[in-house]
Structure 1
Amino acid sequence: MSSPRTAIPIDQQTVVVTGGARGLGSRLVRAFLGQGARVVVNHLTSAEAARELADAHPGHALAVRADVREPEQVAAMFRAAEDHFGAPVTTVVNNALADFSFNGDARPHADTLTTGDLDRQFGGTVHGALNTVQAALPGMRARGFGRVINVGTNLFQHPVVPYHDYTAAKAALLSLTRTLAHDLGPDGITVNMVSGGLLRTTDASSATPEEVFDAIASSTPLRRIVTPAEFADAALYFASPWARAVTGQNLLVDGGLVTN
């Protein structure tokens, strides 16, 4: 029987946050920086926002453009992180989201949903996560430590608005979370998911009508909508030493709207 591995504190971790320049991603970046981590602010189209975030934290943040759907670009980002910080990436937060707006009126319905809609979301969500994990594995295995934190949703358990393409991709990501946890546990790598509901407010949720926010808030025990900062705080748990024996789990952070 193997002995427990020593967990690395967050302030000694090198973290990649995909889609980290804006919205929820920027809150995740700030949460890790607030704990002293070195953080790669990944972006695809938000170069200025990523640079501003990195420049505000010299020595601890690095802005890197990479399309997570492209394995070569992801691998180059991880090399850039190691060269810049002098240490391999220990922690990956898979947050990047293919162009999507939480506007129930504009979503594809059952009779208009296309395979292209599904492919677009699977590419960014599932393929992107696989690419980052594979790029991180050599460094994580060398250190005997790794943390993968996937951003999910409560919508596949409680589809208050049936965003078919988005929800299907996130459900697949939960499956990948659990199988990777099983596969990588012997290497000292944990893989978990943090699933939010509607957050007030991100770029993606900015199109959500106010009455939808109100209706969901009234259905939660807390009677309010979770903020991106609160969601990011929960994500820190899976990177912390407190979660060293937790893997393959899905933590719902939605004010109690959905319970396991």
Structure 2
Amino acid sequence: MNKIALVTGGARGLGEQIVRSFLDKGFKVVINFYKSEKKAKKLSDEFGKNVLIVQADISKNKDIKNMMIKINDYFNDYPSILINNALAEYVFNGDLRTHAEDISWKEISNQLDVTLKGSIEVLQALIPSMKKTKIWQGY
């Protein structure tokens, strides 16, 4: 198994902690971000060549494909581990977040496009390379 992990939404919060955990265990990590470029760059500066940061909107298949090209160009391989952690414009403060009785279908659709559709499409982009690993052979 190669030791490359891809963490979507990996520049801050839980994603950042997952990235740090993989790096502490000797992995190379791809940090996918959408808007948190400063935080992603800070992690890249801290960990150097073991980190690749890639801006991509995982709700867009074109961005996913471009991300895979960048990953392969940088590491000459694809991740064997995927952590789907990205959320679409989520406000964690409950007092500021749109409440259930006020949420629009547009907001719901946007969340589904990133958290569900985007996660599945990132996985589908990696399945061909994952099938070549020993991990996959048990499934």
Q: TM-score, normalised by structure 1?
A: 0.50
In structure 2, what is the equivalent of residue 112 of structure 1?
A: 102
In structure 2, what is the equivalent of residue 27 of structure 1?
A: 17
Aligned pair partner of 2:90 in 91, 95, 100: 100
Instruction: Mark the runs of 5 or more structure 1 residues left unpaired by the alignment.
Output: 1-7, 147-186, 190-260
The worse-fitting range, judged by mean Cα deviation, of 95-104 and 31-40 is 95-104
The structure whose Rg is larger is: 1
The percentage of counterpart residues that share the same residue type is: 35
CA RMSD of aligned residues (A): 1.8
Are residue 91 (structure 1) and residue 81 (structure 2) matched? yes
In structure 1, what is the equivalent of residue 135 of structure 2?
A: 145
For the 8 Å contact 1:78–1:89, the answer to whether it is kept is: no
The alpha carbon displacement at 1:81 in A equals 1.1
Q: How far apart in 1 are the matches of 2:57 and 2:37?
A: 12
Per-residue CA deviations over 1:23-63 (Å, capped at 9, x if unaligned) read: 11111111100000010011111212212211221221111
Q: How far apart in 1 are the matches of 2:55 and 2:138?
A: 29
Aligned pair partner of 1:69 in 53, 59, 63: 59
Q: How far apart in 2 are the matches of 1:109 and 1:47?
A: 28
Q: TM-score, normalised by structure 2?
A: 0.89
Letter in 1 for 2:119: A
For the 8 Å contact 1:14–1:38, the answer to whether it is kept is: yes
Per-residue CA deviations over 1:71-123 (Å, capped at 9, x if unaligned) read: 11112112211221122211110001111113333444454232112112111
In structure 1, what is the equivalent of residue 27 of structure 2?
A: 37
* Distance change >3 Å, CA 101–CA 78, structure 1 → 2: same
The alpha carbon displacement at 1:188 in A equals 4.0
Aligned counterparts, 1:182-197, within 5 A: 187-188=137-138
SS of the aligned residue for 1:63 comes to strand
Q: How far apart in 1 are the matches of 2:129 and 2:138?
A: 12
For the 8 Å contact 1:96–1:124, the answer to whether it is kept is: yes
In structure 2, what is the equivalent of residue 60 of structure 1?
A: 50
Instruction: Mark the runs of 5 or more structure 2 residues left unpaired by the alignment.
Output: none
Aligned pair partner of 2:69 in 64, 79, 84: 79
Per-residue CA deviations over 1:174-194 (Å, capped at 9, x if unaligned) read: xxxxxxxxxxxxx546xxxxx
SS of the aligned residue for 1:42 comes to strand
* Distance change >3 Å, CA 111–CA 62, structure 1 → 2: closer
The alpha carbon displacement at 1:17 in A equals 0.5
Residues paired across the two proteins, number: 139
SS of the aligned residue for 1:127 comes to helix
